[in-house]
Amino acid sequence: MIHETAQIHPSAVIEEGVKIGANVTVGPFTYIGKDVEIGDGTEVMSHVVIKGPTVIGQDNRIFPFAIIGEECQDKKYNGEATRLVVGDRNVIRESVQMHRGTVQDKGVTTVGSDNLFCVNVHIAHDCVVGDNIIMGNNATLAGHVTVEDYAIVSALSPVHQFCTVGAHSFIGGGSIVVQDVPPFVMAQGNHAKPFGINIEGLKRRGFEKPELHAIRRAYKEIYRSGKTLAEVKPVLEEMAQEFPSIGLFVKLFENSTRGIIR
């Protein structure tokens, strides 16, 4: 079903069963396969490929040569009807790839809202990408990666499968991430190592001084106290009672399967 206000270029190929919302534009030479749903106000530019099952929300901008909802690059994939779900107001630049999930995991790759994905970003199968995230040119997520809200993954930085990039963290350009990056932490290098707290980013997002001081104390407990994570955890749990943001550290430690960067 194509809404009457949608503008579809005559050279675009739209398969049967596609749902296209109000005021959507589809540019020339774009292909949209069956089982695709595109929300109101989304702009799909020229030479884009969108395959399903895929759901794309409202007011997204998808630039030329992006490939959205293609089958994943996993040898275990055998044509199952896995999905990709994309939120609202994302900017998806040229040649970005977002792949559907696998039945061996959640069966769905999930991308949130208000994100910027720069040229040639790759989001592999079963990733969970939050909101307000920036991924620079050629940043790459392997399968099963989680990127939490407000994180920044700079250009040319790959993230190993099953890793988590914590909320409000910052990964410098050209870094290789093979373990979890805790929330609020700046990381850089091959392999990525911690280099303090992302203070400037937190200030821009309205964090007040008492909370910033608490996050710094938590960082020192984790990285400079000489304690194990098991010894640090109860300290952070107590701090989280006054400053809920510290609870993000605790949550990451509880769910981590690859350990944190050191």
pLDDT level of residue 194 (50, 70, 90 thresholds) = very high
Element (H, E) at 210: helix 209-223
Q: Answer whether 192's CB lies under 8 Å from 174's CB.
A: no
pLDDT, position 20: 98
pLDDT level of residue 254 (50, 70, 90 thresholds) = very high
Residue 247 to residues 36, 162, 215, 250: CA-CA distances in angstroms? 37, 21, 10, 5
pLDDT level of residue 217 (50, 70, 90 thresholds) = very high
Q: Answer whether 82's CB lies under 8 Å from 101's CB.
A: yes
pLDDT, mean of residues 56-75: 98
- The rounded mean pLDDT for the chain is 97
Q: Answer whether 39's CB lies under 8 Å from 20's CB.
A: no
pLDDT, position 237: 97
What is the pTM assigned to this prediction? 0.97
pLDDT, mean of residues 145-151: 98
Q: Cβ neighbours of residue 65 under 8 Å, at least 6 residues apart? A: 47, 48, 94, 95
Active-site entry in 125, 144, 160, 168: 125
pLDDT, position 241: 97
pLDDT level of residue 13 (50, 70, 90 thresholds) = very high
pLDDT, mean of residues 91-108: 97
At the second CATH level, the architecture of 7-144 is 3 Solenoid (2.160)
122 is catalytic: no
Cα separation, 68 vs 61, whole angstroms: 12
What single letter denotes the amino acid at residue 196?
G
pLDDT, position 166: 98
Q: What are phi and psi of 240, to 5 degrees?
A: -65, -20
Active-site entry in 143, 166, 172, 180: 143
Q: Answer whether 86's CB lies under 8 Å from 104's CB.
A: no
Domain boundaries, the chain: 7-144, 202-255
Backbone region of residue 202 per phi and psi (left: phi > 0; alpha: psi in -120 to 50; beta: other values)? alpha
168 is catalytic: no
pLDDT, mean of residues 28-46: 98
27 is catalytic: no
Active-site entry in 39, 99, 101, 126: 126
CATH number of this structure's domain 202-255: 1.20.1180.10
pLDDT, mean of residues 242-246: 97
pLDDT level of residue 91 (50, 70, 90 thresholds) = very high
Residues 150-162 pLDDT 10s: 999 999 999 999 9
